[in-house]
Amino acid sequence: MATAVNPTVILPRTPKGEFRNEPFVDFSKYENANLIKDALVQVGDMLGHEYELVIGGERMRGSAKLESHNPAKPTQIVGIHQEASPRHTEMAIEAALKAFETWRYAHVEERTSLLLNASRIIRERKAEFCAWLTYEVGKNWAEADADVAETIDFLEFYAREALRLSTATTPIQYPGERNELLYIPLGVGAVIPPWNFPFAIMAGMTAAAIVTGNTVVLKPSTDAPTIAARFLDVLEEAGMPPGVVNLCQGGPAVGQAIVEHPKTRFIAFTGSKKVGLEIHERAAKTQPGQIWIKRTILEMGGKDSIIVSSDADLDEAVAGVITSAFGFSGQKCSACSRAIIEEPLYDVFIDRIREAVPKLTIGDPAKNPNMGPVVNARAMKTIQSYIETGKKEGRLIAGGNAVETPEQGYFLEPTVFADVAPDARIAQEEIFGPVLAIIKAKSYDHALEIANNTEYGLTGAVYTADREKLDHARRVFHVGNLYLNRKCTGAMVGAHPFGGFNMSGTDSKAGGPDYLLLFTQGKSVAEKLR
């Protein structure tokens, strides 16, 4: 475990060159496959370690513990963590408040250097972090690598964006005055990330908060606490001053206490619609002693559609739907859970899906199959319930069963239902698992009407060779991230600012040029010239 580093050792660093996305690893190369295999062995020897809370740079233990388990082998403990008590939560807020009084005035180069140092450390240990993701949340090699690469991208991108924001100016200089527009930090924030991208989203929200001068109380998901603890080690090694990020592990009660605390200034959350709306409601209620309106930055899921027009390239469309629906076992808010197919192509599309889906491999993600487990027993039970509903609402054409393993992991077959009505439960409710509903559309306009008929608006895609149809989708397909002739997952930092409409959240556009503004407040300064 890393120890706190004296903040005076921070070396001012500035980004070198323009931002470039971190390249993905080619695991078909022998040397790269060996790297991840070696990392899995090395990290495997570190499983079961006990981690402390991190409050004001100090390690602390508590009386209550929580355990993280490998979803592919549920008896295997990945990490043992302290569950924060109300006293710990209060201490974390106080530590963040204390650190804010100095961190808010730290020069932008000092704050960006922290992110850049962390990026370098993670890049040098990429295979190790991939292995942690495989053990803790069941990602295969490619999914784990994408998560780590996106973590690096967020750190590098937000460092550059912070420098850009620091040079912001007013649109004009009023005659006889010197006019400035300063983007100053908000204060202490709660960062509550999800388990499905436990490195990238957790690190991205945290990095955006601290690079703009805020301090953070970080409450990770109870399904992915070890990744967060490892990230705290990286931040300390990178030179983070004590109290800038405070780690408070625990369940809903811990999150609720942080959200409702009168000294919490903002909440950055990614997760379910239900929890996101509860956070929004709790944050809106002014607490005694609170002197600001709390800001919520919410990403809350989706019910995402891919439209396949009758003139689409069938090979590309089938591959895009399968990858979007079953990558990481469908456990992505951007996953395709609805394929909307124009009538002339409908039957042949179903035949192709029925043929292709059973070829997907399922198993221990450490062995790199196409699909690993779902995250826990509760998720498996919920998904199986939706599968039973789907058998009543559609025609089962692939999957539908649990996959038995000696370790009793949480494995489900990729499951596809055809002939699903647009208003069916499996066509409307977020399942967050490997379940795809196929819906027949009478026409392209009808397909767009169906695509827009949910309460969500996160991602969507259209496959068509017709330029007019693509342009029409640009105008009327109401999602935050629209993809044309490609899959609807895999948003890249910088290229695809990510965030959705309606019940998908506050359209926060993570990885985009506007994101850091959400963690700041604008201050106009006008000085009369003499």
Per-residue pLDDT band for 15 (boundaries 50, 70, 90) equals confident
Helix (H, G, I), strand (E, B) or coil at 481: strand
> 3-state class of 221 per DSSP?
coil
Task: Give dist(CA 203, CA 191) in Å, integer.
Answer: 10
Q: Check if 130 is active-site.
A: no
The whole-angstrom separation of Cα 122 and Cα 118 is 6
Contact of 155 with 122, CB cutoff 8 Å: yes
What b/e sequence results for 446-483 when a residue is b if at least 16 CB atoms lie within 10 Å of its CB, and e otherwise? bbbebbeebebbbbbbbbbeeeebbebbeeebbbbbbb
Q: Of 333, 342, 430, 488, which one is the catalytic site residue?
A: 333
pLDDT of 12 over the 90 cut: no
d(CA 447, CA 467): 16
Please say if the pLDDT value at position 3 is more than 90: no
Domain 304-492, CATH number (from 3.40.50.1860, 3.40.1280.10, 3.30.230.30, 3.40.309.10): 3.40.309.10
Tell me if residue 355 is catalytic: no
Least confident of 12-16, 282-286, 378-382: 12-16
Of the options 2.60.40.10, 3.40.50.10860, 3.40.1180.10, 3.40.605.10, the CATH number for the domain spanning 29-300+508-525: 3.40.605.10
Nearest Cα to 402, choosing from 387, 417, 416?
387
Residue 291 burial by CB count (10 A; 0-12/13-18/19+): exposed, middle or buried?
A: exposed
With a CB cutoff of 8 Å and minimum separation 6, the contacts of 323 are 487, 489
State the amino acid at position 208 in one-letter form: A
Write out the DSSP string of 247-290: E---SHHHHHHHHH-TTEEEEEEES-HHHHHHHHHHHHSPPTT-
Q: Could you read off the pLDDT of 379-391 as tens digits, one per residue?
A: 999 999 999 999 9
Residue 307, helix vs strand vs coil? strand
State whether residue 464 is helix, strand or coil: coil
Is pLDDT above 80 for 454? yes
Beta-strand relationship, 501-502 and 456-457: antiparallel
Q: Count Cβ atoms below 10 Å from residue 69 Cβ, excluding itself.
A: 19
Question: What tokens appear for 400 in the block?
Answer: 């539908």
Residue 5, pLDDT > 50, answer: no
Look-up of token digits 């909307």: 340
Strand ranges (DSSP E) for 46-149?
A: 49-51, 53-55, 58-60, 65-70, 73-82
| Average pLDDT across the chain, whole number | 96
Per domain, the residue ranges of the chain are 29-300+508-525, 304-492
- 83, 136, 150, 299: the catalytic one is 299
Report whether 456 contacts 303 (CB < 8 A).
Answer: yes
Tens digit of each residue's pLDDT (9 = 90 or more) over 106-149:
999 999 999 999 999 999 999 999 999 999 999 999 999 999 99
pLDDT at 271 exceeding the cut of 80: yes
Q: Is residue 296 predicted with pLDDT exceeding 70?
A: yes
Q: Which long-range contacts (CB under 8 A, 24 or more apart) does 60-64 make?
A: 60/88, 60/91, 62/88
Residues 49-63 have pLDDT tens digits of 999 999 999 999 999
Q: Give per-residue pLDDT as tens, 307-337.
A: 999 999 999 999 999 999 999 999 999 999 9
Mean pLDDT on 4-18: 57
Neighbours of 199 (CB within 10 A): 29
What would the two tokens of residue 411 be? 């494995």
CA distances to 274, 453, 469 from 472, in Å? 32, 17, 5
Could you read off the pLDDT of 193-222 as tens digits, one per residue?
A: 999 999 999 999 999 999 999 999 999 999
pLDDT at residue number 16? 82
Q: What is the pLDDT of residues 237-265, one digit of tens each?
A: 999 999 999 999 999 999 999 999 999 99
Can you give the pLDDT at residue 386? 98
**This model's pTM is above 0.75:** yes
